[in-house]
Chain A
Amino acid sequence: MTVGIICAYFIAVLVIGGFSHRLFQRTSEDYFVASRSLGPALLLLNLFGANMTAFAVLGASGEAYTSGIGVFALMGSSSALVIPLVFYFVGTRVWELGKRRGYLSPVQFFRERYESDGLGLLLFVVLNALLVPYLLIGLAGGGIALAQLTGGAVPKWAGSLIIVAVVLAYVAYGGMRGAIWVNGFQALLLLLLGGVACWVIVHQLGGLESAMSRVGATHPELLVRGTKIRPLQLLTYTFIPLSVGMFPHIFLQWLTARSARAFRLPVVIYPLCIAIVWVPSVVLGVLARLDFPHLPPGAANSVVVRIVEHHAPGVLVGLLAAALLSAIMNSFDHQVLAVSTMFTQDIVVHYGFRDRMSERARVWVGRGFVVGILLAAYLLSLIFDPSLFKLGVWCFTGFAALFPLVVAALFWPRSTKQGIATATLCVSALWSWLVVSQWRSPDYTLGGTGILPVALVLAVSVVALVVVSLLTRPPGAATLAIFFSHDGEAE
């Protein structure tokens, strides 16, 4: 039954992807940003879907199993406030500039804003390097989920390969348009099925109050923050969601909007969507202690699958599998498309082939790169088996520390390319050192203080950007006029 529902889900995804290809206009702008045509509902579903990864479902429930309910305050509710504000202040402005200037990637934006090809190249390398661990979250999560849901009939390596094949089919075929329609469907599944699965399991456990009381009797530390999470940790975790401001795939999502007004619905509804998806994950992670009190650390990532299998009928296991795969694939496909877009636009087209490549050729280069990046990510996933939560947090730390770059580019005319480059290099060096030195630290804080590394890297990024910008010459007046000539009109 479970395998049948998973197959039906994959077929539905491929059919929707194939249908969306009929709307494809065969231009690079359509392939990479769907001709900037998304209305509010699809924009909401895609922004939400692109941010919900295996990290939110598998990682959050695994972390809740280990650390308790505090994980929702750490990552769920802090994202509910910070991410919509990034959409409101940064996303709308990026969309407006992208529409006016024809941008198809974040690198194009920074390159023109700071009149520097070198800076564009530096950002291309850094953004892609930081995206690799994010791609691994999707692939590892997909492999884990399929292996667990099929009782090992589909091994982890084969599960990851199936995810790669399906994503490859609809992204390479339909580009952004294919990803948008598939993700709309997937985000709806995710929003609906997580709550249903949670409700059924809680019912099986004798009701929410009864089940939580039993957890309180056997594992009281899971119902409070206690000593597992420290106040400074909660405070500094709010910096992590700033990462969305520098995710290349979210930048591309912003460019797909039909108008600035299309952002209004996502800004308002996003916090509710966060609660709808995260709360069931956290509740199931905590309740799993009742049935599986002593899972080894490596098995925590699959705890939500285990508890559903243990309590729910076959149909529900299949539907939950579809929801899990939705969470995994609807961010994975946008990330793959973002990497492909940056390679095509910022390397192939920008360096030498701009006038020699037809629209059709650019689309095919994009497709070819999608295949290459998927294969590379798949091979990496076979030799790398980390905690999804830890991998996600470190990946987000790097992107969050780059957030001052986009803020300075949009709101600070005095910022300079030297300031941006210095901040980028400082972040890269410090982040790499911290990852290597802190990877084995169980609580991911600086010296056990509760302060997260993201606070330090973010502070260094801001100081480097401001100090070096003030010591160097800003871009020319003509360039600044492009980016700041509208200031004041908003009033």
Chain B
Amino acid sequence: MTRRRWATLLYAALAALYLLHNDLWLWNDSRLWLGLPAGLIYHIGFCIAASAVLGLMVVYAWPPGGLPAAPAEAGRATLPVPPPRGGGEREHG
């Protein structure tokens, strides 16, 4: 699968996660799961699921859109652009 397809799939997974964050079905559920209220343990699971999807993103959808594929580590001296107007000049260029 290409990076673009992975990215599309994972963005869809993120959208699904965002919707699943609104757990209306557990709103008044006071049952205890593993000793914790259902509404709390669900959101702990949500954090684990978020971490898993983000893990896939940094593996299969890296670099994020808009970021150059090549790191900019060596880029400061090579880019044909004027120095910034806002200060922040480079001491070690």
A, B: real partners: yes
**B77 nearest CB across to chain A (Å):** 10
Query: How many Å lie between the Cα of A208 and that of B57 in the bound state?
Result: 35
**B32 nearest CB across to chain A (Å):** 5
The answer to whether A268 touches B63, judged by C-beta atoms less than 8 angstroms apart, is no
**B72 nearest CB across to chain A (Å):** 5
A96-B72, A224-B27, A486-B67 in contact; A103/B44 too (CB < 8 A)? Answer: no
Contacts A100-B79, A345-B88 supplied; 12 other A-B pairs, CB < 8 Å: A92-B63, A102-B90, A105-B88, A108-B87, A209-B35, A223-B37, A224-B27, A271-B47, A279-B40, A279-B44, A486-B67, A490-B69
Who on chain B is nearest to A237 by CB? B21
A69-B40, A212-B32, A345-B88 in contact; A81/B21 too (CB < 8 A)? Answer: yes
A102-B84, A112-B84 in contact; A231/B22 too (CB < 8 A)? Answer: yes
A28-B91, A93-B64 in contact; A72/B40 too (CB < 8 A)? Answer: yes
Contact with B along A74-93 (1 / 0, CB 8 A): 00111011001100110011
Give the residues in chain A near B73, CB-CB below 8 Å.
Answer: 99, 259
The answer to whether B67 touches A73, judged by C-beta atoms less than 8 angstroms apart, is no
A359 contacts chain B at the CB level, 8 A cutoff:
yes
What 5 pairs across the A-B complex have the smallest Cβ distances? A208-B35, A108-B86, A77-B43, A223-B37, A264-B58
Q: Which A245-275 residues have C-beta < 8 A from chain B?
A: 259-261, 263-264, 267-272, 274-275
Q: Which A175-207 residues have C-beta < 8 A from chain B?
A: 207
A473 contacts chain B at the CB level, 8 A cutoff:
no
The answer to whether A92 touches B64, judged by C-beta atoms less than 8 angstroms apart, is yes
The answer to whether B67 touches A350, judged by C-beta atoms less than 8 angstroms apart, is no
A100-B75, A267-B54, A267-B58 in contact; A70/B84 too (CB < 8 A)? Answer: no
Residue picked from B4, B28, B50, most chain A C-beta under 10 Å: B50
Q: Give the contacting residue for B46; candidates A35, A80, A120; CB below 8 A.
A: A80
Q: Which B45-93 residues have C-beta < 8 A from chain A?
A: 46-48, 50-51, 54-55, 57-58, 62-73, 75-76, 79, 81-92
**B78 nearest CB across to chain A (Å):** 10
Residue picked from B28, B32, B54, most chain A C-beta under 10 Å: B54
Residue picked from B27, B37, B48, B69, most chain A C-beta under 10 Å: B37
The answer to whether B88 touches A490, judged by C-beta atoms less than 8 angstroms apart, is no
Give the residues in chain A near B35, CB-CB below 8 Å.
Answer: 207-209, 212
A482 contacts chain B at the CB level, 8 A cutoff:
yes
Q: What are 12 A-to-B residue pairs whose CB atoms are below 8 Å? A: A72-B40, A96-B72, A104-B87, A105-B88, A107-B86, A225-B39, A260-B71, A260-B72, A267-B58, A349-B87, A481-B81, A490-B63
Query: How many Å lie between the Cα of A112 and that of B72 in the bound state?
Result: 19
Query: How many Å lie between the Cα of A491 and that of B8 in the bound state?
Result: 13
Contact with B along A98-134 (1 / 0, CB 8 A): 0111111101110110010100100000000000000
